[in-house]
Amino acid sequence: MQEKQNKSLKNKAAIGIFDSGLGGLTVMSAITKLMPKENIIYFGDTAHVPYGSKSKKVVTNFALGISKFLVRHNVKLIVVACNTASAFSLETLKKYIKVPVIGVIEAGSVMAAENTKNKKIAVIGTEGTIKSDAYAKEIKKHDKKIKCFSRACPLFVPLVEEGWLDNKVTEQIIKIYLNDIVNKDIDTVILGCTHYPLLKNTIQKVVGKKISIIDSATAVAFEVQKLLKEQNLTNSTGKGSLAFFVSDSPEKFQKLGSKFFNKKIINVTKVEI
């Protein structure tokens, strides 16, 4: 009887998700749509956004602190919904955190490798993600013949955080960043940052309809579902609860977060890590 109760508690334990700010809410949205009964705890490190311009050591320290915070809330799984943190700190987290940890890069790489027809893929992301070459390494694992082009787009995150998604200034900035990439005859673009899906329509307008845009959020959601099933940790009872924590500006997170999450966000709690 006791063993059955313990098992039930593990199944009901929350999925922990974290990002440098708002972008990881796109991953959270995909997970809630696929697994509406799962409880989820989200942490946005809004005091330190963006991660993309910071060093590997600094980002890893942030990621470890946040992961320990989530573990204290008895999560059964952690999703690193930040490409920079996935590139810089995933292996360290897997070493020191006692629950399974999933990053966003592998899932997006597999999806892109399966999508490309001419074996030419572009990756756009923060400076940290692009310098790590993490996507190219993952893509090469699946198909060594694929040629990868990359472009750091450091202004995209602040544009999204400010809610500048589809105005003329944003479109012009996207053109400046991506014109040389489009001229490489690519057929697939990976959005290598969880903030970028909110710019997807404008990016598509700039690169043209013939180029496919890969958003790894859905792929990560399926990976989470698969892992929970394999470990018999799926929650099959009740309606999933959602909790939101940030390291700064809960009011701004609550206001802008609804655009990322496609639902109204309430009860955002500020905490210090």
Catalytic residues: 82, 193
Q: Please give the structure tokens belonging to residue 222.
A: 């399926």
**Residue 236 token pair:** 């099959």
Task: For residue 239, give every residue at least 6 positions away whose Cβ sits within 8 Å of its Cβ, in sequence order, or none.
Answer: 36, 37
CA distance 55 to 52: 8
109/104 Cα distance (integer angstroms): 9
d(CA 228, CA 122): 31
Token representation of residue 218: 């859905």
Query: Which two structure tokens, joined as six digits, stand for 12?
Result: 């009901």
- For residue 238, with 0-12 CB atoms within 10 Å meaning exposed, 13-18 middle and 19 or more buried, which class applies? exposed
How far, in whole angstroms, is CA 41 from its chain's centroid?
Answer: 14
DSSP track, 107-132: HHHHHHHHH-SSSEEEEEE-HHHHHH
Residue 185, judged by CB atoms within 10 A of its CB (0-12, 13-18, 19+), counts as exposed
Q: Is residue 178 classed as helix, strand or coil in its secondary structure?
A: helix
- The CA distance from 93 to 246, in Å, is 20
Rounded Cα–Cα distance for residues 204 and 221 (Å) = 23
